[in-house]
Structure 1
Amino acid sequence: MHTSKYVVVGAGLAGAATAWRLAGRGHEVTVLERSTPANEWGSSHGSARIFRYAYPELEYTRMVVDAKEGWDELERLGGRRLITPTGAVDHGSVRHPRQLAEVLQAVGVEHEVLPPEEAQQRWPQLAFDTEVLWHPGAGVIDAETTVSTMIELAVAHGAQVRTGWELREVTRSANGFRLSSSTGEVVEAERIIVCAGGWLPALLGDLSLPAALRQQMPSLQVRQEQAYHFPYREVPEPSATPWPTFIHKSENMQAYGLPGGRDAQFHGQKVAQFNGGKILSSAQTQDQLMDEANRQRVVDYAERYLPGVVPEPYAETTCLFTNTPNEDFVLDTVDNITVVSPCSGHGGKFAPLIGEMAADLATGRAGVPEIFRVFNRDLQTQ
């Protein structure tokens, strides 16, 4: 039987970041991953996730600024580029570009607001229906390489990583917790950090939490999102300015897109409808099958708003979003169990900061913003 002071459940972006931060502080850490780090059944696979500063909420934008320091540190320590600069455009009647610009102005992030005609001249490969916010500091995160980099750094500081380790049950023990796998393996830990993503809803009942506290978790909605890669009409030269990432929100459609990178053999744009995938009871019920109606909606969108692509996807993929009702993260600790769900489809850009906050919670070193706390402190000993 293996023992460890801290056990991190899950080796996606959040779990890998937590393990890196804990191990880097000299703590004994074991990571338990049901498959392999950043596997295709989770939310952290592939080479294309959006890094952006634009949020309508000041607190999130400030957090991106803080997270960028962690990304710079991670790139330096790992010796790899993890964010490719592209810049980002935001538009649409529901995206409110000027409101986003006010937040960026308050935080000191470089940006412009352009009329649609000027934006069209600058980016003829895109079509715009409102004013456009441009901020050049945005880019594309290589999620899979980020996970492997953080895991490597954690292991270099003494962390252990166990793959193919599917958690089935957590029970209390004399020293803290006993974690049992589906194959009968056992690991004992003083403290647990659960970073299980779409598997969290199914795990909650097995975490040995008091019922009164378990009921305080917000409802988590798991979606099997679908993304499509459309070929560029003109393949950019290696030295050319890359396509920007974009978020377009109107009354009829909420879409996002970004250069597909390695996932798209570097010659296509990845495009998806935000929260357009089917709802799952948990990650276990995903089938990775594409929905024809969703595909047609995204193709229709590409025909109208992406003149720079051929509106025929040459590749497609699924990815899990785990949404809270208000799209805020869940980061809280109770009875030496830390629950980490930086979810709702926008947590990846915060990975280094999420790991730092999760490590702070698990060690009792510091707290996190109150908007992420869900457990009533008065009920922790019941």
Structure 2
Amino acid sequence: MTGITVIGAGLAGSSAAWRLAQAGHEVVVLEQDTPAHRRGSSHGSARIFRYAYAERLYVDLVRESARGWAELEAAGAALLTRTGALDHGEGHDPAGFARVLAAAGVEHELLGAAEASARWDLEFTTPVLWHPGAGVLDAEAAVVAMLDQARAHGASLQQGWRVTGVRRHGRGYRVHAGDGRWVDAEQVVVAAGGWLPDLLTELALPEAFTAALPLLEVRQEQAYHFPYTGDGDNWPTFIHRTEDMVVYGLPGGRDAGWSGQKVAEYNGGRRIRSAGAQDGVVHGENRRRVVAYVERHLPGLVPEPYAETTCLFTNTPTEDFVIDRAEGITVLSACSGHGAKFAPLLGELVTALVEGRGTVPERFRPGRASAARNRP
């Protein structure tokens, strides 16, 4: 019987495997495909790393996560490119973000639209928050680096392992595969990303715990790469909240052949039941919306995408994560399109749950909160 079985080898599962093995636990990772495969949420080389949040909790969690990224890079992995980040738009609150960053001691500037326009080849009509410590993460390389660290501490990885259910078995659990295989474990960590909605009912979880979890909305998102009109050396990441859409952009790195900006509408993709229902098709209406946005707001880009892709977001209604535990099963769902930056920290939080330490924010533990409400 294995000590702990981790289901999923994306950013969340790889982090859990790394931190659990590092803490001395026996760990086996089960992955249905290959780590960071293209039908999951962790493929590619471009994710935003940023400190700007409206709440101090998340800013502090980013700072904790930054130490984990530094730890991985010290081991030889090149993962984070500092580009700085911009936040602006009619639906945004750059001044509010600035106050939170100031209280947390994070370097930043609050700029006027004209000053920002003089520095970057973007259109600005509102105040702009700039913080230079932000950048771009290589998600796929991060998965590889965390799994390397996990294996260095004794963990093992089994690929081609599609989990179909987890059942009580003796003093632990039996994890079943679609082809009839099974693995016994004392504890299980479920980091299944967009496959979690289908898998939840097949886990040996108490009904009350499952009922308390937030509704998970899976979206097939669409992203486009646009060429720079110049050399692209000065391009930051950005989040722009207009009156009718939220758009994010970042240097595309390896995904874009090092020659373009990745631009997408946040939650602009279609809703699907789960990751198993994705078709990988980019919808023309979304492409037209994003191209029109680039034409109007990003004069430093050629408004003709030279590459496009789909990816998965798994959202909760509050955009908070789910990191919770019932008996010997831990559910880890780093949701809502902003979890990548926290990857090294996610495994630390899972390890704290497994070891019975209360360091996971209560808002990430809906099952625990429900149990407390129902306790006589």
TM-score by length of 2: 0.97
> Is 1:206 aligned to residue 202 of structure 2?
yes
- The aligned residue for residue 92 of structure 1 is 89
Q: Structure 1 residue 335: deviation in Å? A: 1.2
Aligned to 1:304, which of 296, 301, 311? Answer: 296
CA distance in 2, matches of 1:131, 1:349: 25
Gap regions ≥5 residues in structure 2: none
Residue matched to 2:371: 377
**Mapped partners of 2:206, 2:311: distance in 1:** 32
Is structure 2 residue 135 aligned with structure 1 residue 139?
yes
Structure 1 residue aligned with 2:47: 49
Q: Which runs of 5+ in 1 are unaligned?
A: none
Secondary structure in 1 matching 2:150: helix
Give the whole-Å Cα distance in 2 for the aligned partners of 1:377 and 1:24. Answer: 31
Instruction: Identify the residue that residue 225 of structure 2 maps to in structure 1.
Output: 229
Following superposition, the deviation at residue 253 of structure 1 comes to: 1.6
Match of 2:80 among 79, 83, 86: 83
SS at match of 1:215: helix
Alignment partner, residue 344 of structure 1: 336
Please provide the CA RMSD for this pair: 1.3
Q: Who is 1:268 aligned against?
A: 260
Distance 2:163 2:177 in 1: 5
Moved >2 Å (runs of 4+): 376-381
CA distance in 2, matches of 1:215, 1:165: 27
Distance 2:154 2:285 in 1: 48
Q: Which residue in 1 is equivalent to 2:173? A: 177
The question of whether the paired residues in 2 share the 8 Å contact of 1:193 and 1:362 is answered with no
Contact 1:213 1:379 in 2 (8 A): no
d(CA) in 2 for partners of 1:182 and 1:174? Answer: 21
1:109 aligns with 2:106: yes
Q: Tell me the equivalent position of 2:346.
A: 354
2-structure distance, mates of 1:362, 1:313: 45
Q: How do residues 319-330 of structure 1 correspond to structure 2 at under 5 angstroms? A: 319-330=311-322
Number of aligned pairs? 373
Task: Kindly state the Cα deviation for residue 136 of structure 1 after the two structures are TM-superposed.
Answer: 0.1
Give the partner amino acid of 1:171: R
Instruction: Kindly provide the CA deviation profile for residues 143-186 of structure 1, in whole angstroms up to 9, marking residues without a partner as x.
Output: 00000000011011110101110001111011310011011111
CA distance in 2, matches of 1:128, 1:252: 16
The 2-side partners of 1:22 and 1:366 are apart by 16
Letter in 2 for 1:120: S
Alignment deviations for residues 113-138 of structure 1 (CA, whole Å, 9 cap, x no partner): 11100100001x21112110000000
Cα distance per residue 1:49-91 (max 9 Å; x no partner): 00000000110011111110111111112x0221000000110
Contact 2:4 / 2:27 at 8 angstroms: preserved in 1? yes
SS at match of 2:92: coil
* Deviation, structure 1 residue 378: 5.4
Quick one: which amino acid aligns to residue 85 of structure 2? A
1:250 aligns with 2:247: no
Q: 1:31 aligns with which of 11, 20, 29?
A: 29
Give 1:367 shift.
3.3
